[in-house]
Amino acid sequence: MRGLRLFVRPIESGDREALSVFFKEESAVGGRRSAVEPPTPPGSPADCRLPTADCLPACGLLGKLLGDIVAVVSLEITGDAVNIEDVLVARELRRKWIGRVMMREVEQLAAKMERTRIVVDDARDAGEFFRRTGFQREGERWVRVVPQSQS
């Protein structure tokens, strides 16, 4: 892992199969797979709260090491914020700064899109991770203010 560079890019429709494999592998490890769990969208299957082969993120970023997907951040873009719906880092690579790099990429995306905040509505058990990556508690949700560049 040391010395390798994480390649981060937007999720594309062609990623469907690779994402499906990644989610299956991570679910086979067992336990809760992601840091945050979004509410189930109306009209969706109940299992759609967790990414699966049938319910993949429509918008987000994926991180790759040596060509393999190792992290996924599912996003929703609103008028003034970028909402993080879900974060998943491969179990064997957790606590190696991959999640922090992904949050930095989300911040850069938000700044480019001129959004002022990054919001996590339900952090589940990942509150400490979000605190360490610059988020602050605002009631039940976590918020990180996006610094705007001076042009």
Q: Please report whether residue 79 resides in a domain.
A: yes
Domain holding 128, by residue range, is: 7-145
Mean pLDDT of all residues in 6-22: 90
Q: Please report whether residue 100 resides in a domain.
A: yes
* CATH code, 23: 3.40.630.30
Mean pLDDT of all residues in 71-84: 92
Residue 63 has pLDDT above 90, yes or no: yes
Residue 38 has pLDDT above 50, yes or no: no
Q: Please report whether residue 133 resides in a domain.
A: yes
Structural domain tally of the chain? Answer: 1
Three-state SS for 93?
helix
Q: Please report whether residue 2 resides in a domain.
A: no
Q: Please report whether residue 150 resides in a domain.
A: no
pLDDT of residue 83: 94
Interatomic CA distance for residues 19 and 15, integer angstroms: 6
CA distances to 19, 95, 104, 119 from 133, rounded to whole Å, are: 25, 12, 9, 12
Q: Please report whether residue 111 resides in a domain.
A: yes
CA distances to 10, 25, 89, 95, 138 from 14, rounded to whole Å, are: 11, 19, 20, 29, 37
Residue 28 has pLDDT above 80, yes or no: no
Better pLDDT: 122 or 130: 130
Interatomic CA distance for residues 19 and 70, integer angstroms: 10
Q: How many Cβ atoms from other residues are within 10 Å of residue 19's Cβ?
A: 21
Q: What is the pLDDT of residues 79-125, one digit of tens each?
A: 899 999 989 999 888 888 899 999 999 999 999 999 999 999 988 88
Mean pLDDT of all residues in 43-60: 57
